[in-house]
Amino acid sequence: MSESQGSAPPTTPPRERTTAIRQRLAELRGPTVVPRPLDARALAALAANPGCRRRALLDGAGVDKGALAEALGSPSAAFGQSQFAIARGTTFESRVKADGGTELLRLLHEHVGAGGEPPKDAAVPDLSAAGPEGRAARTALALREATASGAWTLLDHPMLVLNVAGSPAYLEPDAVVVAPDGRWTVVEIKSFPMIDAAADPAKVGAAARQAAVYALALERVAHLTEGAEVAHSVLLVCPKDFSNLPTASLVDVRKQLSVTRRQLARLTRIEEIADGLEPGASFDPDRPAPELTRTVESVPAAYAPECLAACELAFHCRERARAADAVTALGRGLRAELGGLTTIGEVLSAARAASGDADDPTVAALRRAATLRAEALAGARCAEAAACS
């Protein structure tokens, strides 16, 4: 057997490959641009729209999408809560964690179905340290000590770290509770209400995606801790009805965990997306607007109306989706219902029987809907004419 037949192709060592990826990402965001760190909200937004290669590349490269949107001439709307909402949320969180987290532990004990009396108190270790790296290391040590102690432990605003595209992303959940059996539970404290034990599904979904990011970061520590297990259900704590009293619900985040894992796996391969760009392409906001627009448009996006609340480039992508007559501008649900019809023109043509296969269930449904609409309008006109006569 010849050497060429018997030897495997050369591979790049992992460390050199990671260095090359970081250099490539630095080129994409601009040589003088400081990378924008990913947080739990950004990772949750990625998980909510896993098909958007544009956001995956921009977030993986640490591009400031707000500055990029300004340079493109499509500035984003103001994100974040009002000062009043922030103050209200801070007050509610302090109430939930008062007295060493007694009420928080009671709520968790009640929902996990643990036997016996709820814990009266818990250990609350000091997690202060220098910088996010120090805080993350201190948190990991506290989790291991709490698991070994076999006592209830409340970690208030721990610092977790998750490797994203070769760079550390530092994450800070509201709390993590360690039970005597070694189970670690993420706690999300939100200021939106639970009315009759139910909250706004959209807000609960967003909280679940964010909590799943924390749970994924916890799993990295749990794998190195004997007897530890990360709960796949997070405790969501909200005000009860219209009061300031806390109530809670367990939210299963296994689906969100799976989606987040897949999205992070895509982020680790963002060099594949970057390879499709022109040589020398950059998202540096100081570049000329036409050049920036051409570079941004060269990366496929998956716009949906939900992006308006989660992405700084949403206005730009919406404008392009509307210009392309894309049905995605009308929502993911409708896009899924329309199958292979990707533009509004194709949908209207199929409904008017000007194109499309009549045996296609989607086309048949559209034509039936068009017929019903025409009949309804004709009936309305007849009723109006009778009333006027």
Residue 6 has pLDDT above 80, yes or no: no
Q: Mapping DSSP to helix (H, G, I), strand (E, B) and coil, where does residue 293 land?
A: helix
The two tokens of residue 221 are 């520590």
User: How many whole angstroms separate alpha carbon 29 and alpha carbon 6?
Assistant: 42
How many of the other CB atoms lie within 10 Å of CB of 155? 24
User: How many whole angstroms separate alpha carbon 153 and alpha carbon 143?
Assistant: 9
Degrees (nearest 5) of the Cα angle 71, 300, 302?
Answer: 95
* CA distances in angstroms from 352 to 341, 363, 377, listed in the order given: 14, 10, 16
pLDDT, average across residues 38-66: 85
pTM above 0.85, yes or no: no
Question: Could you report the per-residue pLDDT of 86-95, keeping only the tens digit for each?
Answer: 888 888 999 9
* Residue scoring higher pLDDT (234 or 8): 234
DSSP characters over 199-214: --HHHHHHHHHHHHHH
pLDDT, average across residues 10-18: 60
pLDDT value at position 104? Answer: 92
The one-letter amino acid code at 200 reads D
- Cβ-proximal residues to 360 (8 Å cutoff; 6+ apart), any chain: 339
Degrees (nearest 5) of the Cα angle 317, 318, 324?
Answer: 90
User: How many whole angstroms separate alpha carbon 172 and alpha carbon 161?
Assistant: 9
Q: Mapping DSSP to helix (H, G, I), strand (E, B) and coil, where does residue 198 land?
A: strand
Range among 101-115, 236-250, 330-344 with highest mean pLDDT value: 236-250
Question: What share of the chain has pLDDT > 70, as a percent?
Answer: 90
Degrees (nearest 5) of the Cα angle 78, 80, 82?
Answer: 95
Q: CATH 3.90.320 region(s) of the chain? A: 83-263
pLDDT, average across residues 132-152: 94
Q: Tokens 């367990």 label which residue?
A: 250
Contact 274, 57 (CB under 8 A): yes
User: How many whole angstroms separate alpha carbon 363 and alpha carbon 366?
Assistant: 5
In this structure, the strands spanning 167-171 and 153-156 are unpaired
Backbone CA torsion sign across 318, 322, 324, 328: positive
The one-letter amino acid code at 49 reads N
User: How many whole angstroms separate alpha carbon 367 and alpha carbon 360?
Assistant: 11
- The mean pLDDT value of the chain amounts to 85
Assigned CATH class of 83-263:
alpha beta
pLDDT band with cut points at 50, 70 and 90 for residue 1 = very low
Backbone angles phi, psi at 240, to 5 degrees: -85, 125
The two tokens of residue 159 are 């610092």
Residue 293 has pLDDT above 60, yes or no: yes
- Cβ-proximal residues to 212 (8 Å cutoff; 6+ apart), any chain: 44, 47, 234, 253, 256, 257, 259, 260
The two tokens of residue 149 are 């102690």
* Residue scoring higher pLDDT (360 or 158): 158
pLDDT band with cut points at 50, 70 and 90 for residue 114 = low
The one-letter amino acid code at 273 reads I
pLDDT, average across residues 195-223: 92
pLDDT value at position 4? Answer: 44
User: How many whole angstroms separate alpha carbon 248 and alpha carbon 237?
Assistant: 4
